[in-house]
Amino acid sequence: MPEHTKVSAEDQALLNKFARSYQTQTQLKADVKEAKTLIDNINEASDEILLLDDEDSASIPCRIGSCFVHFNGDSLNEHLEGKKTTAEKVLSEKTSELDAISADMEQIKKVLYAKFGDQINLDAEE
Amino acid sequence: MADMAKFEEEVNKLRTLEKDREKYFTSRQEMEMRLTESKNVKAELDLMESDSKVYKLIGAVLVRQDLEEARSTVEKRLEFIDSETKRVEASISDISKKCTEQRDKVMNMQKSFQMMAQAAAQAQKK
C-alpha cells in the first residue's frame, strides 16, 4: 500500500472549487446547447416562411408566451431577426464563460494531479 | 502479477462493452418513442380531408404546409426510423454476443485464480 499523500486545507479548497466549477460548467453547456437550438429553429422557420405564398404569408401564427399571435411575413421576419440577435448574444456570452471556466478547471486539475497522481480521479466518466 | 494485470485488462474490456450496450439500448428506446409519435401523426393525417389546413411548428412559428407534403414527410420519417431501428438491433445482438464471450472469459480467469489459491492453501497445510 503506497503511502497516502497528506491532504492540506488548500488542497481541499481546490477540490471544492473544482466541484463547484464542474457543476457550473455542466449548466453552461446546457445553456449553450439551448441557445444553438433556438438559433437553428429561427433559421429554419425563416427559410420556411420565404416559401409561403401570398395568401398564407398574410397571417402566420407565432407563439409568444402561451399565446399564438398572427403576424404577416415581413413583421414576423423582423420579430425573428430580433430574437436571433438576442440568442446570438447570449450564445457568445455563455461560450466565453464556458471557455473561461474550462481553462480554470484544467489549471486546478494540473495542480491536483501533480500532487496526488492516480490517487484521485477528476475526469468525467465518458 | 502479470496475470493480475491481464485480468484487470479483461475486466475493463468487459466494462467498456457493457457501457456500449447500454448506449444502444438507450438509442433503441428513443427510436421506439419516435416511431410511436410518427405513427400517431400519420394516423391523424390520414383522417384529414384534402382541403384541410396543416401547420408545422418550427420553434415558435406555425408554418402552413401542404397536406400531401406533410404526409410524404411523415412517410419518409417512418422509413428512416425503421431502417435505423434495424441497424441498432443488429448492433445490439452483435455486442450482446461479445459481452457474453467476454464475461465467460473473465469468469474462467477468476476460476483459475481460485484454483491456484486453493492449491497454494493446500500446499501450505502440509
**DSSP string covering A85-115:** HHHHHHHHHHHHHHHHHHHHHHHHHHHHHHH
Which domains occur in chain A, in start order? 11-117 (1.10.287.370)
Which domains occur in chain B, in start order? 2-118 (1.10.287.370)
Q: What is the pLDDT of residues B13-46, one digit of tens each?
A: 887 888 888 888 899 888 888 799 898 998 988 8
pLDDT computed for residue A126 by the predictor: 44
Q: Does B51 lie at the interface with A, CB-CB under 8 angstroms?
A: no
Question: pLDDT band at B116, cuts 50/70/90?
Answer: confident
Question: pLDDT band at A13, cuts 50/70/90?
Answer: very high
Give residue B62's region: left, alpha or beta (phi > 0; psi -120 to 50).
beta
pLDDT computed for residue A3 by the predictor: 57
Q: State the average pLDDT over residues A80-101.
A: 91
B58 interaction partners in chain A (CB closer than 8 Å): 41, 44-45, 48
Taking CB atoms and an 8 Å cut-off, how many pairs form between chains A and B?
40
Share above pLDDT 70 across residues of chain B, in percent, rounded to a whole number: 97
As given in the structure block, the three cell numbers for residue B59 are 420553434
Across chain A, the runs of DSSP E, i.e. the strands, are: 60-64, 67-71
pLDDT computed for residue A98 by the predictor: 93
The end-to-end CA distance of chain A, in Å, is 28
Distance CA A106, CA A104 (A): 5
pLDDT computed for residue B13 by the predictor: 82
Q: State the average pLDDT over residues A33-39.
A: 90
Question: pLDDT band at B55, cuts 50/70/90?
Answer: confident
pLDDT computed for residue B81 by the predictor: 92
Residue B80 has pLDDT above 60, yes or no: yes
Q: Does B64 lie at the interface with A, CB-CB under 8 angstroms?
A: yes
Chain A interface, Cβ < 8 Å to B: 38, 41-42, 44-45, 48-49, 52, 56, 60-64, 68, 76, 80, 83, 126
Of A49, A62, A126, the CB nearest to B60: A62
Residue B88 has pLDDT above 60, yes or no: yes
Of A49, A56, A63, the CB nearest to B60: A63
